A and B are shown apart, each in its own frame.
Chain A
Amino acid sequence: MAIIIFIIFVVFVIGLSLYLGSKAKTSSGYYAAGGQIHWGVNGIAFAGDYLSAASFLGICGMIATVGYDGFLYSIGYLAGWIVALFVVAEPLKRLGKYTFTDAVDANYNSRGIKLFAAISTLVVSICYLIPQMVGAGVLVEPLLGIPHSWGVVMVGAIVITIVATAGMASTTYVQFLKGSLLIIFSTVLVGAVVVRGLSTKPDQGGAVEFYEYSHLAATKIGDQITVTDAGWNVLEQAEVKGGLSFVKLGRDGKESWWYVSNSDGVITLKESQFVVAKTDGKWINGAPASATNQLRQVGNIEKIRGESDVTTGSLSIFEYLSILTDKDTSVQTWKTASFVDSDGEKVTVYYPKVVSGDLIMRPGLKFKVEGTLLERLDFISLMLALFLGTAALPHILIRYYTVPSPASARKSTIVAIASIGFFYMLTLFMGLGAMTSGVINPADSNMAAPLLARSFGELLFAVISAIAFATVLGTVSGLIVAASGAVAHDLMDRYMNFQMDDRQKVRAGKISAFVIGGIAILLGILFKGMNVTFLVGLAFAVAASANLPAILMLLFWKKTTARGIAASIVVGIVASLSLIAFSPELYTLYGLNPLDAPIPLNNPGIVSIPLSFITLVVVSLLTPKAEAVKV
């Protein structure tokens, strides 16, 4: 079923591309769809561009694991459109031609701006491309049953075909189609979630029997843990960073890892899931990994308003959220810890942690708003980057050139706000639905929304997965158009002054799309396993640091000079990338101790955005007045 729906969709998209490709012969047609897209279509296409793998897969997955903190991304991503609408949309439409570089260079004709703005477009697009390709690989594994790397290659090949055949025109209609389907079927999924209601023993509509995890009473004398039940033997104890303890228990010749919970001195051992990397391959829950032996899906409500064994039946959207907000409602969430056992084998334990509803439905589980000053600054930094990043994303900015007038740019932004805002409200329900329906893969939260759909049957899973795949497809198309425009139009045509006629410019764009598509495939394979939302959040920070100061100041500060803009772009890119490279999250990815990271912040925006603004102002003031913008 999934394969048939997927093939129908892909064939339709490629057919549409070939048809539109026969019409796009000029560079205006290739890069800006001839500037003749209707504002309504463009508005939904904006939604298609914007609602990437990070929004559909990443945010839902993050809400499913850390509750409201994931919804902060929805709020921040949507709020960013306010900057786009009120400050950027119409003036940018009046300034530009095909690319972000055209817009910032419109009044200067500066080689420095051309070079650095093109580099910035490439850097931001690649930062944004990586999570999309990773998301594609994650999706196709369960959807088509093929390995991650083949999924990435497949997405890359299809996207290159789409972009190289018709450029912005086909990308726009693919985005329109995908944006519409995503919103319609997400609404259907949320409807199904609230109609099914909540249960303390979710069984996916009877499809998967609810697995009840065991608890064992234990005592701790000194460092030695002893299980009260005589049938169990403690074989090994492991202490992990952050004060976590695990024990390996043996019974009837079987071994398993348990989480040690210490609540006011009362020791309880909680059954966990575990993966051991052995020399003969991966073992899951004490047996070799196979098609039938995988990690069990997790996530359920333990108590609904203080009561166990409850199934609510159909609920209104308010009742649904209200139950989960109640302090007497508790949800079993799952955490991860890794360590090396006494045999020298790497053990990854997925252990349960019960969290009350009032904690789940407010910020704090991921972003420590009650934590140290640095943790609070990190939160401000994230919210700042999300707010300011949208209006600086190259693949979003180029969409303003596909409509015929500044008024159409404004109206299409409003359609985008309506559709994207509605979708982001749905993410809260989809994420919470996944959190409480026993559908989360504890090793990869990115699949929360498609797996939630599967709990309602294979048909909805097939449709949602195909749309999720199209989500990746559409966003990658837009990013490759933006990046190929930076290479062919900004660098080759404008910066290097290659003498090309209109047809050669289109060919250069298509060749660039092939090369960038190839790079995207490679990076998608290399970065397998990285969190897609986290990476997109960083792309927002880079965009907000490198591009936004240039856009805002050239529009609103008469003393802005070409050198000021070029310098701010360079400082924005270098500062944001450097801060990211030496941050605790990246140190974790490198396999180093995050506490050793020289930069204590995970989100660079609070430093790099003001730095880029200050650079622009200082350099502009030091630059001769002759270079000042003529308004």
Chain B
Amino acid sequence: MLHEPATPAGKDPASPYKTRLGIWMFVFYSLFYASFVAINLLSPLSMATIVFAGLNLATVYGFALIIVALIEALIYDGMCRKKEAEFAKAEKSKGGKTRSKKGKA
């Protein structure tokens, strides 16, 4: 017997969209993160370059990696919610049409 989720999750038509979006956002962040590692290895001295308010590239890039993660997360959530709402709306109107057809019948 296969396992079931602890709480049953209904069918999610937005799932393929969210998966695709997630992968693209993951790829973007991975490149951003990999660039940080690459700069450290290929040009470590450039990490000491002052770039903003007396802070060097290492500090600014480090904070940016944290802040960009949050910004990306919020964008992802916003886009997922929008798509979920679109499908919910379409489902609702489909349900309404079905009901009105049944009423006519």
Q: Give B19-50 as 1s and 0s: 1 = Cβ < 8 Å from A's Cβ atoms.
A: 10011011001100100110011001001101
| Nearest residue, chain A, Cβ from B84 | A407
With A and B bound together, what is the CA distance between A319 and B40 in angstroms?
A: 24
A59 CB to closest chain B CB (Å) equals: 13
| Nearest residue, chain B, Cβ from A102 | B3
Contact check, B12 vs A322: say whether CB atoms are below 8 A apart: no
The interface residues of chain A lying within 8 Å CB-to-CB of B70 are 414, 417-418, 421
Q: Give A259-288 as 1s and 0s: 1 = Cβ < 8 Å from B's Cβ atoms.
A: 000000000000000000000000000000
| Nearest residue, chain B, Cβ from A36 | B7
The interface residues of chain B lying within 8 Å CB-to-CB of A433 are none
Asked whether A406 and B66 contact (CB < 8 A) given A86-B26, A90-B18, A379-B40, the answer is: no
With A and B bound together, what is the CA distance between A193 and B40 in angstroms?
A: 29
A388-439 interface (Cβ within 8 A of B): 401, 404-407, 410-411, 413-414, 417-418, 421, 424-425, 428
With A and B bound together, what is the CA distance between A318 and B36 in angstroms?
A: 21
Contact check, A362 vs B54: say whether CB atoms are below 8 A apart: no
Contact check, B50 vs A325: say whether CB atoms are below 8 A apart: yes
B34 CB to closest chain A CB (Å) equals: 9
Asked whether A83 and B26 contact (CB < 8 A) given A417-B73, A425-B63, the answer is: yes
Interface residues on B, range: 35 or more
Contact check, B19 vs A91: say whether CB atoms are below 8 A apart: yes
Contact check, A79 vs B41: say whether CB atoms are below 8 A apart: no
Contact of B54 among A74, A325, A405 (CB under 8 A): A325
- Is A594 at the interface (CB under 8 A from chain B)? no
With A and B bound together, what is the CA distance between A51 and B40 in angstroms?
A: 26
With A and B bound together, what is the CA distance between A387 and B34 in angstroms?
A: 10
Contact check, B33 vs A79: say whether CB atoms are below 8 A apart: yes
Contact check, B44 vs A325: say whether CB atoms are below 8 A apart: no
The interface residues of chain A lying within 8 Å CB-to-CB of B72 are 82
- Is B74 at the interface (CB under 8 A from chain A)? yes
Q: Give A289-329 as 1s and 0s: 1 = Cβ < 8 Å from B's Cβ atoms.
A: 00000000000000000000000000000110111011100
| Nearest residue, chain A, Cβ from B62 | A75
The interface residues of chain A lying within 8 Å CB-to-CB of B77 are 410-411, 414
With A and B bound together, what is the CA distance between A369 and B39 in angstroms?
A: 10
Contact check, A414 vs B26: say whether CB atoms are below 8 A apart: no
Contact of A109 among B1, B66, B76 (CB under 8 A): B1
A595 CB to closest chain B CB (Å) equals: 23
The interface residues of chain B lying within 8 Å CB-to-CB of A407 are 80, 84
A96-134 interface (Cβ within 8 A of B): 96-98, 102, 105-107, 109
Asked whether A321 and B54 contact (CB < 8 A) given A35-B7, A78-B65, the answer is: yes
A376 CB to closest chain B CB (Å) equals: 5
Asked whether A405 and B65 contact (CB < 8 A) given A86-B22, A379-B41, A414-B73, the answer is: no
A579 CB to closest chain B CB (Å) equals: 20
Contact check, A321 vs B5: say whether CB atoms are below 8 A apart: no
Contact check, B12 vs A401: say whether CB atoms are below 8 A apart: no
With A and B bound together, what is the CA distance between A106 and B4 in angstroms?
A: 8
Asked whether A96 and B3 contact (CB < 8 A) given A318-B53, A322-B53, the answer is: yes
Contact check, B69 vs A417: say whether CB atoms are below 8 A apart: yes
B2-21 interface (Cβ within 8 A of A): 2-7, 9, 12, 15, 18-19
Asked whether A362 and B29 contact (CB < 8 A) given A85-B76, A96-B5, A401-B6, the answer is: no
Contact of B56 among A83, A106, A319, A362 (CB under 8 A): A362
The interface residues of chain B lying within 8 Å CB-to-CB of A326 are 54
Contact check, A318 vs B54: say whether CB atoms are below 8 A apart: yes
- Is A370 at the interface (CB under 8 A from chain B)? yes
With A and B bound together, what is the CA distance between A259 and B12 in angstroms?
A: 67
Contact of A107 among B2, B36, B84 (CB under 8 A): B2
Contact check, A424 vs B66: say whether CB atoms are below 8 A apart: yes
The interface residues of chain A lying within 8 Å CB-to-CB of B25 are 82, 86
Q: Which 6 pairs across A and B sit closest by C-beta, in order of nearness? A: A322-B54, A35-B7, A86-B22, A86-B26, A362-B58, A35-B6
B interface list, Cβ under 8 A from A: 1-7, 9, 12, 15, 18-19, 22-23, 25-26, 29-30, 33, 36-37, 40-41, 44, 47-48, 50, 53-59, 62-63, 65-67, 69-70, 72-74, 76-77, 80, 84
Residue contacts A-B, CB under 8 angstroms, 14 given: A28-B6, A34-B6, A75-B66, A86-B22, A87-B26, A96-B6, A322-B55, A326-B54, A362-B56, A369-B41, A401-B6, A404-B7, A405-B7, A410-B76
